[in-house]
Structure 1
Amino acid sequence: MFSKLGTGAVILALALVPGMGAKAQEVIKIGIPTGLSGANSVVAPSVVQSAELAVDEINAAGGILGKKVELDVADDGSGAAGAQKAADSLIFQKKVNALISMQTSAARNGMLPVVSRGKVPYIYTSLYEGRSCNKYLYADGAVPEQMVGPIVDHFMDAYKAKTFFLVGSDYAFGRGMLAFTKAYIEKKGGKVVGDEYQPMDATDWTAIISKMRSANPDAVIFSTAGGAPNVTLQKQYKAAGMKAPVGNLSVDEGTAKTMAADADGVFISASFLTNIDTSANKKFMSAMKAKFGDKLLTPNDLSVPEYDAVYLYKAAVEKAKTTTAEPVIAALAEVSFDGPRGKVQMNAQRHAPLTMYLGQVQADGSVKIVKSFPNVSPGEQCPKL
């Protein structure tokens, strides 16, 4: 179905609540601008699937405030210009009640002025570099304070790593994540012997891998744009015969599946992995398999927060008893949702404390949980809002 999605907005028809009409005032619209093309195209379709399941479940249970929920998906091209166009269409033409989306940081930053102008609640569901603060923005994905420690600490403890080489995409996410990582490494007594960046659409990492070889670090950490750059960098790193252990701050479990043996041994830090052993996650995974069958794309740490966020929006609207932006914005900090990642509440400066998992990719692309870290704080994010 995703091959038919164009670059414009696409309305996904979802099941109507029995007996409910199709009048505009009886519908709540959620806009999903996400990277169906560009760097995020590897993972964005799984994000849409998570949103579809959440809305199907909500509609089957009576909708929100008795109203049917519809999704309106728009391709943001994984970048700022595309995100601005997508947001403008969703907010001012399609008249969505909220935006809930996994996007690149470039897309998010490009879209925020449009969100402010449109005064629409916006839940950002991607792991990211942190400290994106706006009156209309909440985030339920992980930030560096939650992601970096598990990987760096493991390399220092298990591999006795003292020197690190960092590689990122040259935009807010890559630089923000690695700036935090460098400070954390130095605070722990380690040393960064190289940090290199390439554009989001880079495909040739030969020169950087050559620099890595010369620096001979004990460990390397990648923070490239989620999806395509992760695939090309890891494949070329493996093909070059590099041996230092790899930690990746942006690879998700779905992307790991596509990389398979190329990603064997890579460590990731995530708030969701498919084999989390809880009844809520087993229920979620069963529902996803029942809905999508052999079309199911691997649920992952970039898609499952979308599922949670749809339910968090539902809870906020029901608490506010309206879809009007201001009351919903106030309610988003107060509501919570117990889902496949556990309890999620965006009450820490518009971000969420999360249980984090250190995972290691296996040869078949699956991810083994190495260790869990309950209720990790996102730290200082938006103290002035």
Structure 2
Amino acid sequence: MKTNRRNFLKQSTAFGAAAALGPSLYAGAARASGEIEVGILFSLTGGLSIIEKSLADATMMAIDEINAAGGVNGMTIKPILEDGASDPKTFNEKASKLVIRDRLQTVFGSYTSASRKAVLPVFEKRNSLYFYPTYYEGFECSKNVVYTGAVPNQQLSNFIPWIINTLGKKKFFIVGSNYIYPREMAKVSKILIEQHGGEWIADEYLELGHSEWGAMVSKIKESGCDVVLSNVVGDSVVAFYREFKNQGLTHDKLPICATVTSEIEIAAMGPEFAVGSYTSFPYFQAIDTDRNRAFIERYRKYVNDPNAVTHHALESSYFQVYLWKQAVEKAGDISADAVREGIKGQVFEAPNGTVTVDPENLHTYLTPRIAQWGADGQGTIIDEYKEPIEPLPYVAYGETPDNLFCKGTGLDTAKL
């Protein structure tokens, strides 16, 4: 049976109490109803809801699919949905409610690093588990988070050399929203730009949600750059690209190469503002496989929108629920400690391809791809790796497959 978001919001305060562990296979308290409660924490209101509503939908879609197929070892997943309201403080409050009052062992949520950082102390203090689906800046090692989005070596280590060597662009104007993700991604980018013979001539920021981009685009025009590296997030992406075109800039001469702009932002701004620009992600709706086409069809049917678009963070929100299911079934327990052990090395055939949870750092093996945006609002994939690559959250600080900083025993701070 399909879950309705509005019903979730009405019922969320009533779900409460201890996490439902179901049959005697599971350790701890059990309920005769055979339900497992999990939290869903995304922004359903505010500037970031342009993205995060779709992440909540994808999470609920996976839950409904699993329940329709018999649940988790016969138990029904019962979600408790909370609204982070595009505000880190609210995210912290809602996370505390889910973990402390509702006593949940697992929560799926967040889009921005600001919201992830806001909730992280809650999960670490209470030893609960947080599944984070968004590409992020790395530089984090927590046994209480499973990271299913791309880290910089899966998004930038392919992108920066490609921009310099294939596009022939070497003078970078870096622009972003003013919080940790854009600033850390800029730090990684600068290292890569210099390593590959390019130069960055500016590194500028506007507040998250900022909509007045006239002065910034003028600064870009006057800078002498030949490529813009965009780490702009949320509805600011729409305002930025529109102003870019309004001031006469075109992507064939001065392309925006983005780490954030996806199908959903392009649908919101209008494809004509992004034609010819580029993005690096492990997942694009344009992936030409039967598995992905079936996923797109199911998602559109689920949200009752034949034109709905899928994108990287949405796809990660979907498949991470299946990784959790597999971990619970392997562990025979829903406690955070048991699921953490059970999820190590888990493999799932996702719409983007094969994904695997690294048993050391709880990040995910993903396949880097680059796409150029067309007039139809879709990306044409013009570069992709042959197979998934290992996640290295500290690549900017010298981490390599043979010299890991983040392991199951924790972060080796001596290497930083």
**Shared fold (TM-score, shorter chain, > 0.5):** yes
Is contact 1:78-1:103 (8 Å) kept? no
Q: Deviations over 1:138-169 (max 9, x none)?
A: 10100111111333233223331111100011
What corresponds to 1:62 in structure 2?
70
How far apart in 2 are the matches of 1:8 and 1:42? 24
What corresponds to 1:344 in structure 2?
355
Q: Deviations over 1:174-223 (max 9, x none)?
A: 10111111111111010001110111121112222222112121101110
What corresponds to 1:327 in structure 2?
338
Secondary structure of 1:30's aligned partner: strand
Listed as ranges, the gaps of 5+ residues in structure 1 are: 13-19
Q: Deviations over 1:274-313 (max 9, x none)?
A: 1212232122223223333326631111111011100000
TM-score (norm 2): 0.84
How far has the Cα of 1:10 moved from its partner?
7.7
The 1:53–1:5 alpha-carbon spacing in structure 2 relative to 1, beyond 3 Å, is: closer
How far has the Cα of 1:377 moved from its partner?
2.7
Matches within 5 A, 1:88-237: 88-225=96-233, 227-237=234-244
Q: Deviations over 1:56-80 (max 9, x none)?
A: 1111121112210022221112232
Letter in 2 for 1:379: L
What corresponds to 2:260 in structure 1?
250
Secondary structure of 2:333's aligned partner: coil
2:322 to 290, 311, 318: 311
The 1:175–1:113 alpha-carbon spacing in structure 2 relative to 1, beyond 3 Å, is: same
The 1:102–1:11 alpha-carbon spacing in structure 2 relative to 1, beyond 3 Å, is: farther
How far apart in 2 are the matches of 1:363 and 1:113? 43
How far has the Cα of 1:231 moved from its partner?
0.9
Secondary structure of 2:388's aligned partner: strand
What corresponds to 2:414 in structure 1?
none
How far apart in 2 are the matches of 1:65 and 1:95? 21
Would you say 1:379 and 2:392 are equivalent positions?
Answer: yes
TM-align CA RMSD:
2.4
How far has the Cα of 1:6 moved from its partner?
6.9
Secondary structure of 1:113's aligned partner: helix
The 1:5–1:245 alpha-carbon spacing in structure 2 relative to 1, beyond 3 Å, is: farther
The 1:263–1:328 alpha-carbon spacing in structure 2 relative to 1, beyond 3 Å, is: same
Is contact 2:355-2:388 (8 Å) kept? no
Deviates more, 1:91-100 or 1:322-331: 91-100
TM-score (norm 1): 0.91
How far has the Cα of 1:315 moved from its partner?
0.7
Q: How many residues align?
A: 376
How far has the Cα of 1:84 moved from its partner?
0.4
How far has the Cα of 1:42 moved from its partner?
0.6
What corresponds to 2:379 in structure 1?
367
Identity rate of aligned residues, in percent? 28
The 1:161–1:76 alpha-carbon spacing in structure 2 relative to 1, beyond 3 Å, is: same
The 1:140–1:379 alpha-carbon spacing in structure 2 relative to 1, beyond 3 Å, is: same
Letter in 2 for 1:57: E
How far apart in 1 are the matches of 2:227 and 2:338? 47
Is contact 2:59-2:318 (8 Å) kept? yes
How far apart in 1 are the matches of 2:238 and 2:14? 30
